[in-house]
């Protein structure tokens, strides 16, 4: 079945710097890759996603890239702000497995003012 590995598990950056979180997946049939942000005491919030027919997608300070050949995708946050501090999860969906989302282990991002 699908397995998603996420790195790093913790990331600390200075306000204004960029942050990059990387994920790899195992199932070549996976075709949808969302990223979620989870703040303390809240459920995960979808922040950006990408489908397998696209290599890159951008939304203001957030971008996601996908390399299907290498089976990895990354989240890029530019000009980080203290409110970006949260746990970020990547996920992959494969219709070969009934369409369930398989999540990475999460990255705790801390943005220091």
Partner 1 sequence: KAGVTQTPRYLIKTRGQQVTLSCSPISGHRSVSWYQQTPGQGLQFLFEYFSETQRNKGNFPGRFSGRQFSNSRSEMNVSTLELGDSALYLCASSQDRAKGDEQFFGPGTRLTVL
| Footprint on this chain of partner 1 (rule: CB under 8 A) | 32, 34, 36, 41-46, 49, 51, 89, 91, 93, 95, 97-106
In terms of CB distance, is 30 or 85 closer to partner 1?
30
In terms of CB distance, is 22 or 78 closer to partner 1?
22
- Taking CB atoms within 8 Å and a gap of at least 24, the contacts of 96-102 are 96/27, 96/29, 97/1, 97/2, 97/27, 101/34, 102/1, 102/2, 102/3, 102/4, 102/25
CB of 4 to partner 1, least distance (A): 10
CB of 54 to partner 1, least distance (A): 13
In terms of CB distance, is 31 or 78 closer to partner 1?
31
CB of 61 to partner 1, least distance (A): 20
Instruction: Report how far residue 90's alpha carbon sits from residue 81's, in angstroms, rounded to the nearest whole number.
Output: 20
β-bridge partners, 75: 21, 64
């Amino acid at each position: 079945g699908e397995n998603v590995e996420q790195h790093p598990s913790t990331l600390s950056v200075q306000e204004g710097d960029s942050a990059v979180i990387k994920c790899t997946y195992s199932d070549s049939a996976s075709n949808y890759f969302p990223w979620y942000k989870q703040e303390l005491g809240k459920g995960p919030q979808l922040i950006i996603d990408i489908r397998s027919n696209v290599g890159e997608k951008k939304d203001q300070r957030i971008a996601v890239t996908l390399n299907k050949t290498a089976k990895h995708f990354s989240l890029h946050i530019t000009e980080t702000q203290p409110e970006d501090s949260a746990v970020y999860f990547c996920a992959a969906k494969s219709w070969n497995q009934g369409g369930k989302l398989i999540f990475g282990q999460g990255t705790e991002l801390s943005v220091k003012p």
